[in-house]
Amino acid sequence: MTTVLGGRAPATAPARRDAAALRAGLLAAVALLGVVVLASLALGARDVAPGDVLDALLHRVPGNADHDVVIDQRVPRTVVGLVAGAALGLAGTVMQGVTRNPLADPGLLGVNAGASLAVVLAITLLGVTSPGAYVWFALAGAALAAALVYGVGAIGREGATPVKLALAGTAVTAGATSLITLVLIADSDTLNSYRRWSVGSLAGRGTDALVPLLPFLAVGAVLALAAGRSLNLLAMGDDVARGLGQNLHLARGGAATAIVLLAGSATALAGPVVFVGLVVPHLVRPFTGPDHRWILPFSLVLGPALLVAADVVGRLVVRPGELEAGIVVAVVGAPVLIAIVRRVKLAGL
């Protein structure tokens, strides 16, 4: 160990080599993200050469068809994908860390369902139709769902165990989904507005919907990235974490706030995209190990890489139409979930 109680021990040579390898890996992940962004700007129903993409970004010529496609259509959806993917990657990592549950994900623990139910009610009762206006309702719904899941999971002498949180999240998701279905069946206008948002898509999302979310996303990202040490201590168990001086209520409260801000904002922006928060931490851990101080930065980079790549694949597989990014991610995420369930034995199961 490189840390000691009351101070920090000198870093050993192997530790320095490991840190150098992790920094190199993070730079490689950033390079991969750059390639994915270039593909997002260049590929689609109309392919644009990389040189023309760069020319459009630096010297746009109004009326040039390639330039208009890149600037007006692909730049906004790519930016939305980057922001939503980063938020979901961080939210999933924090959620798995704070619950000590490898299956934790905003979509699996009821957060996305709560946000979706709030958006449906906003459409039905208040006539809200703009993704930019969804944010307040999505955040409120995500917060209520998270509080309900944790409250139900904490009932009993043993407190909020990973298994109980997973079961509570499943119950909340099922209940919220039933209410959503009930509302949609009764109101066709709400169905028409909701279905375009509910599949999880980057198309049609502009920066006007992103700007109101930036403060929430920034605060959530700061809280998540600052939670690395706390998550490492929580992974050792409550008694050990408390013995090492960790305030458990403060750590869990900060993590919960980060999850709600990140998952609620991402859901308001791109719809209830599932599996990004589940898959990304599992892709990262083989390279980083269990240290959340490295898992979180890697997730910040690979989350958007996964979501934007899914958006690019969705544009290419059914050209000239497109498949929503949320559907592509689900196709990838479902087998990963099955593999995780087969490999990981949860405590208490």
User: What's the pLDDT score for residue 193?
Assistant: 67
User: What's the pLDDT score for residue 268?
Assistant: 81
DSSP annotation of 138 reads H
Helix/strand/coil for 16: helix
CA distances from 176 to 20, 61, 190, 246, 321 (A): 46, 48, 16, 34, 31
Q: Other C-beta atoms within 10 Å of 26: how many? A: 18
What is the residue-level pLDDT of the chain in tens, covering all 349 positions?
A: 444 444 444 555 555 658 888 999 999 999 999 999 999 999 988 889 999 999 999 988 888 888 999 998 899 999 999 999 999 999 999 989 988 878 777 776 788 889 889 988 888 888 877 666 777 888 888 889 888 888 887 787 766 666 677 788 888 888 998 998 888 887 777 776 677 667 677 776 777 778 888 999 999 999 999 999 999 998 888 788 888 888 887 888 888 889 889 988 888 888 888 788 888 998 899 889 899 999 999 999 999 999 999 999 999 988 887 888 888 888 877 777 777 667 655 444 4
Question: What is the distance between the alpha carbons of residues 309 and 41, in angstroms, rounded to a whole number?
Answer: 11
Question: What is the distance between the alpha carbons of residues 219 and 34, in angstroms, rounded to a whole number?
Answer: 25
Q: How far, rounded to the nearest angstrom, does the alpha carbon of residue 39 sit from its chain's CA centroid? A: 21
287, 73 contact by CB (below 8 A) = no
Q: Please list the alpha-helical segments (H only) found in 60-110.
A: 65-68, 75-99
CB within 8 Å of 88: residues ≥ 6 apart: 106, 262, 263, 266, 273, 276, 277, 280, 303, 307
Asked whether the CA dihedral 47, 51, 52, 57 is positive or negative, the reply is positive
User: What's the pLDDT score for residue 2?
Assistant: 44
Question: What is the distance between the alpha carbons of residues 238 and 236, in angstroms, rounded to a whole number?
Answer: 7
Question: What is the distance between the alpha carbons of residues 35 and 16, in angstroms, rounded to a whole number?
Answer: 29
Fold type of domain 81-343: ABC transporter involved in vitamin B12 uptake, BtuC (1.10.3470)
Boundaries of every domain in the chain: 81-343
